[in-house]
Amino acid sequence: MCGIVGFIGKNAKTQIIDCLKKLEYRGYDSSGLALINNKDKIEIIKETGFISNIENLSNNMFDDLEIGIGHTRWATTGKVTKENAHPHVSNNGRFAIVHNGIIENYEAIKSDLSHKGYTFSSETDSEVVAILLEENAKTAKSVIENIKLTTKILEGSFSLAILDTHSPDKIFATKKDMPLFVSAGADFASIASAVVGLPHDAIQYIMLENHDIAEISLNTIKVWQNEEMVDRRVQKITKDDLNHTMHNHKHYMIKEIFEEQVALEKTAEAFSSLKPSAKKEILDLFASHKRIHLVACGTAYHACLVGASLLESIGFDCSCHIASEFKYFPPNLNDKCLCIFVSQSGETADTIGCLKLVQEKGIKCLSITNVESSTIAHISDHLLMTKAGTEVAVASTKAYNCQCLIFYLLTQAISKNNQVISIKNLKIDKILQTINQISKLSQIIATFKKVFFIGRGLDSLTAKEGSLKLKEITYIPSESYPAGELKHGTLSLVDDESLSIVILTQKSTIHKTMNAVSEIKARGGFTLVVTPFDEIQPNHEIDYVFHLPILKNEQHYPLISIIPLQLFAYFTSIEKGINPDKPRNLAKSVTVE
Ligand code: F6R
């Protein structure tokens, strides 16, 4: 989590702040920057809270400086305090560093350095890096050698940007298991944790490999791997990579929900434009493997549940796994299995850990991700891209629908079903036209102390995602259950302070799902049914109804029944005065295990 940037060129401070803002989704509890001044000394500004705080603090300061690094933090080791905010500086003031990742052996290093007389001013794991650089500078013949010596001692994961006042026109960078991108333009050079965090003028980038050490100066990037200078592939930045504006929307989340139709169209288009050889390779995987494990976290895991249900319906034997469990308690894996990894960011540490584990066992894997420059896209054997475009809001919305869509498209292709799903026929625009009704229902949802989401079959999967969205950005305790499971325990929580949101899109489940509604009503609970069925109207058991458009194919409802639930979460969050884009304690890209 955390985002790091570095910039060399005019207006370095402003550029660093602008780039940090684009990485704020990676963590936003504190931020800071370090600049080298005209006397080759390091200037530091850091503060808790959003990046706007360091922007205000540094107003009219350091505007003439041309080199610096910056950081936006999601606390892992050490509380959210100004002292723990990055950058961290060595005792002698020579080195400043920003770090993304976790140094697992930092306590041992800290104790060793303390015995040598060094002092620490933060509780973080990261500070040891700055001080180790100072210690190793005593013996290293060059900064590059120093960085090599220093990172050799570190266990865990890191991407690092380093300022050294003895090389005041350079930024040094290195990484292990955390992403880092470098870009140089006509009059600037920069680094960032994600392509989106590079300056607006950047047109190309290189992705550093593990243990690369980059020496970045204006117009020149040198990369070393094991003492040898190496060339890394230069990749073009696409418009989508840098799409990072809210246009006329108040928040990224609502903008991203409104982009769902286009995102689905682009994803479908990219799938149908796959080269015949690439498509064949993927279809061959399914032809030769009937046992499938699907692995992901959070929302992406919920997309796997939908995917597994679709693949099961055409004869595959599927299991879904939460990545953080899979890595340490893997199922019986052998070469008869195909593993599918799903990740919007392509940087989720839990999912990457599983992918590597599976690759070590020589098992075939296919990944579905939204970020072409991500680690998962880089290391996967086979890849399918969602084309949701940049997703900035912490709560995933458009990426989820696109992940589900990939499974629909795959299932159609595998079963040679020529009836390709039509995005227009999903009638998403009809749902977006009911925004006022959704907003009014959200005012009601905001009054409840707890909210349950229930449904049967495919609807129970949408219920899980709806519940996660709501709790994530409204802080209302919420759980989801297959409707029939409620009476096996959770019904004891139902009372007149609870709302149950019932997803009901599958005709064959109407009768039994309505039994659950009766059971809830009999315990004084309130009910809101989300359904396309006209005959379902408010009555003595149903307090509220939201009508979905009618689709020809019932199996397609998961692609749209989630949209009102995403909107309920959004408007309820607004109603409660919460910023839906930046819910407390969370970050968009979870790059630590
Ligand atoms: C919830 C959400 C998270 C992510 C999860 C996995 O709205 O966004 O649950 O789905 O952290 O992230 P990715 O898909 O980037 O691997």
Which residue has a Cα nearest atom 3 of ligand 1?
Answer: 298
CA of 21 to the centre of ligand 1 (A): 20
Beta bridge partners of residue 206, listed in sequence order: 182, 234
Reference 93, options 143, 166, 142, 160; nearest CA is: 166
Nearest atom of ligand 1 to the alpha carbon of 301: 10
Burial label for 275, CB within 10 Å (0-12, 13-18, 19+), is exposed
pTM of the model: 0.88
Burial 313-334 (b: 16+ CB within 10 A, else e): eeebebebbbbbebbeebeebe
What is d(CA 360, CA 170) in angstroms, rounded to the nearest whole number?
38
Edge-to-edge strands, sheet with 478-482: 478-482, 450-455, 498-503, 526-531, 544-547
DSSP string computed for 224-287: EETTEE----EEEPPTGGG----TT-SSHHHHHHHTHHHHHHHHHHHHHTS-HHHHHHHHHHHH
CB atoms within 10 A of CB 245: 11
Residue 194 in contact with ligand 1 by CB distance below 6 A: no
Residue nearest to atom 11 of ligand 1 (CA): 298
Catalytic-residue membership of 2? yes
Q: Taking the domain 426-580, which CATH number applies?
A: 3.40.50.10490
Catalytic residue chosen out of the listed positions 2, 318, 320, 402:
2
- DSSP per residue over 451-501, as a string? EEEEESTHHHHHHHHHHHHHHHHH---EEEEEGGGGGGTGGGG-STTEEEE
Residue nearest to atom 10 of ligand 1 (CA): 299
CA 299 to centroid of ligand 1, rounded, Å = 5
> Same CATH topology for 248-421 and 426-580?
yes
The active-site residue, picked from 13, 148, 521, 588, is 588
CB of 190 closer than 6 A to ligand 1? no
Q: Of the residues 193, 251, 396, 562, which should be mutated to test ligand 1's pocket, given the most ligand atoms within 8 Å of the CB?
A: 396
CATH number of 248-421: 3.40.50.10490
| Phi/psi at 78 (5° precision) | 100, 140
Distance in angstroms (rounded) separating the CA atoms of residues 25 and 2: 9
Q: What are the domain boundaries of the chain?
A: 3-237, 248-421, 426-580
In eight-state DSSP terms, residue 208 is P
Q: Which helix (H) or strand (E) holds 513?
A: helix 510-522
Quote the CATH superfamily of domain 3-237.
Aminohydrolase, N-terminal nucleophile (Ntn) domain (3.60.20.10)
Q: What is the 3-state secondary structure (H, E, C) of 531-574?
A: ECCCCCCCCCCCCEEEECCCCCCHHHCHHHHHHHHHHHHHHHHH
Instruction: Report whether 189 contacts 15 (CB < 8 A).
Output: no
HSE-CB at 42 with a 13 A cutoff on CA atoms is 29
What is d(CA 230, CA 217) in angstroms, rounded to the nearest whole number? 16
- How far apart are the CA of 87 and the centre of ligand 1, in A? 27
Per-residue pLDDT of the chain (593 residues; tens, 9 = 90+): 799 999 999 999 999 999 999 998 888 899 999 999 999 999 999 999 999 999 999 999 999 999 999 999 988 899 999 999 999 999 999 999 999 999 999 999 999 999 999 999 999 999 999 999 999 999 999 999 999 999 999 999 999 999 999 999 999 999 999 999 999 988 999 999 999 999 999 999 999 999 999 999 997 899 999 889 999 999 998 766 666 677 789 999 999 999 999 999 999 999 999 999 999 999 999 999 999 999 999 999 999 999 999 999 999 999 999 999 999 999 999 889 999 999 999 999 999 999 999 999 999 899 999 999 899 999 999 999 999 998 999 999 999 999 999 999 999 999 988 778 999 999 999 999 999 999 999 999 999 999 999 999 999 999 999 999 999 999 999 999 999 998 898 899 999 999 999 999 999 999 999 999 999 999 999 999 999 999 999 999 999 999 999 999 999 999 999 999 999 999 999 999 999 999 998 877 777 77
> Ligand 1 centroid to 118 CA: how many Å?
40
| Angle between helix 435-445 and 558-575 (nearest 10) | 60
